[in-house]
Structure 1
Amino acid sequence: MPHSQPARRRKDDTSAPWILTFADLLSLVLTFFVLVFSMNTVQYESWKAVVHTMNEEFNPKRPMVEILPHDTPPSLMTRSIPGLNLTYLEALLDRQLKQVPLFQEAVVHRVEDTVVISLPASLLFEPKLAVLAPDANRALRALAGALVQVRNKVQVAGYTNGAPVKTGLFRSNWELSLTRARVVAGTLSNAGYQQPMTVLGYADTRLRSLEHFNNVKSRYEWAERIDIVLINEKREQGTYDIF
């Protein structure tokens, strides 16, 4: 039985398979642009109704959430009570520090609505370490005796220069500055200052505040310091307050 031969394409047949692929591609591109256009022109109210309907159909037992207006309590809008006069406080602390031999290089100065006691870190710690020297411990205890009479809120902030930490005890200057501030705050607390203190670590992010130092060496030395900041805001009265 003779085998059937495949039909030969006629010479005038111009159809080709790629036309079907091209048509499918055009359809996909057109569909894509239609979807993009529809997503950019979504009507919120209509879409909200669709979402609500789908939630009702697919999750009828979901818990209902009721949105109620929230009013800010009046207690949060009250103004804070000022503490001691900052000019008087600056003079008082400067006189107290002059009586502590280790703090002769310390600086008491005003920064906006605060009084700042700046202590070079070289007076308190070894380079890139956070263990207090024996003299520093005694000096901070004397400072705590002055702070315990002051009813202004207190912050303790640590700063460093940009030199990397190579002691292996700290992963970065951030951790070093915060640890030093915590050590100073803990020493003041152990010495009798029992009020809450805010502890902050700034590392080397505040070097611009030292631009008033013309001497680069002095600027580098003061970059590593501990600032004890007294805010113009009254704290709660403590046991030892006399003012």
Structure 2
Amino acid sequence: MARRKHHEEHANHEAWAIPYADLMTLLLAFFVVMYAISSLNEGKYRIMADALTTAFGGAPRTINPVQVGNQQVQGGGWDSPSVIRAGTKIGPSAPAPSNDPTLLPAMASQMRMPVSIRNQAQLQRAERQLNGIADKLTATLAPLIERGMITVRRTELWIEVEINSDILFPTGSATLDVHARDTLSKLAEVLRDAPNGVRVEGHTDNIPIATSLFPSNWELSAGRAASVVHLFADQGLQPARLAMVGYGQFRPREDNASAEGRNRNRRVMVIILADTAQSIDPITDRLSADAEAADATQATAAGTPVTPIAPVQLPPVPAGSRVGAAVPPAMKE
């Protein structure tokens, strides 16, 4: 039987064309992407620059709108869209926009500094003003400071005036003593003309109280803080600058195991903030966070589980009424 003749197959010399076409497609896509990244949209750049400048405390600048299709993003000049004129270079080698020659230096300086010069000047003025208040308070309250009944502490952002409750209120009461009114009036006189926000905190020891007016130490501490706030308002401090909170027994300064420790824990804290009343919330959050961290450390060291306690805030007392009216009606018997 005759064998079938085997025909030799010819080599395909055009097999390189397919990977070559794939490579060209990838290179084209790569350069398109690089071109898109390197193209500078002046309008978007100026908007970003203004946002950075404003975030770092600088004055906002006029922004041209950005043309996106048939829509405009409104900026400083609504009727003058940002366009690229004929002959303008684009890409990495293009010169920076020359509409505002101070834009790039301003951005560079803002990026180099954690706080702008303007904010630094404001902080310095606030610090000097806070130092002046601290000096006045120390001079005004010197007799009580020497006796250890009042402590004035100065921090970078606020002043703490710690007043022992024994010189302000009778035991188990939130009604100010006559001599306490004189002391607090002197304090209010120093704060009356200052723009600073004032926060009043009430604290007690851990001795339980259960009366129709004060079911717990929360109500007692809040009532005492409210009494001080109302006196400050009566002495001419703007109510918008004032805030009060009662922490009860849950922010102790000392151990309640001793009589001396309980006496230290019965206190009213008057906190004068370095900024206006608008700064009450951020500083309050920081104070609360610091206090909670300290309590957590204390409780962990003692092996006691930490339970978050929310402070009790009471509604304002109508003018002419007793402090007892500050307790919510649902708590009265």
Contact 2:144 2:150 in 1 (8 A): no
Is the partner of 2:231 in helix, strand or coil?
helix
Residue 189 (structure 2) aligned to one of 145, 148, 163? 145
Query: How far is the alpha carbon of 1:104 from its aligned partner?
Result: 6.4
Specify the alignment match of 2:149 in structure 1. 105
In angstroms, what is the RMSD of aligned CA positions? 3.2
Are 1:190 and 2:234 counterparts?
yes
> For residue 121 of structure 1, what is the amino acid of its counterpart?
S
Runs of 4+ in 1 over 4 A off after TM superposition: 77-82, 99-104
Percent of aligned positions that are identical: 25
Specify the alignment match of 2:259 in structure 1. 217
Query: How far is the alpha carbon of 1:96 from its aligned partner?
Result: 1.4
Q: Aligned partners of 1:232 and 1:96: how far apart in 2?
A: 20
Residue 92 (structure 1) aligned to one of 119, 136, 141? 136
> For residue 94 of structure 1, what is the amino acid of its counterpart?
T
Contact 1:130 1:183 in 2 (8 A): yes
Specify the alignment match of 2:247 in structure 1. 202
Contact 1:157 1:226 in 2 (8 A): yes
TM-score normalised by L of structure 2: 0.42
Contact 2:159 2:273 in 1 (8 A): yes
- Higher deviation after alignment, 106-115 or 137-146: 106-115
1:161–1:98 distance in 2 versus 1, CA, 3 Å = same
TM-score normalised by L of structure 1: 0.56
Q: Aligned partners of 2:223 and 2:135: how far apart in 1?
A: 29
Are 1:179 and 2:223 counterparts?
yes
Are 1:122 and 2:166 counterparts?
yes
Query: How far is the alpha carbon of 1:102 from its aligned partner?
Result: 11
- Higher deviation after alignment, 77-86 or 167-176: 77-86
Contact 2:133 2:190 in 1 (8 A): no
Specify the alignment match of 1:228 in structure 2. 270
Aligned residues: 159
Contact 2:152 2:160 in 1 (8 A): yes
Specify the alignment match of 1:69 in structure 2. none
1:83-137 CA-to-partner distances (Å, cap 9, x unmatched) read: 3534443222111112679986211113562211111111111112111111112
1:178–1:137 distance in 2 versus 1, CA, 3 Å = same
1:191–1:104 distance in 2 versus 1, CA, 3 Å = farther
> For residue 189 of structure 1, what is the amino acid of its counterpart?
A
Q: Aligned partners of 1:219 and 1:227: how far apart in 2?
A: 16
Contact 2:201 2:225 in 1 (8 A): yes
Specify the alignment match of 2:116 in structure 1. none
Name which one, 1 or 2, has greater alpha-carbon Rg.
1
1:111–1:216 distance in 2 versus 1, CA, 3 Å = farther
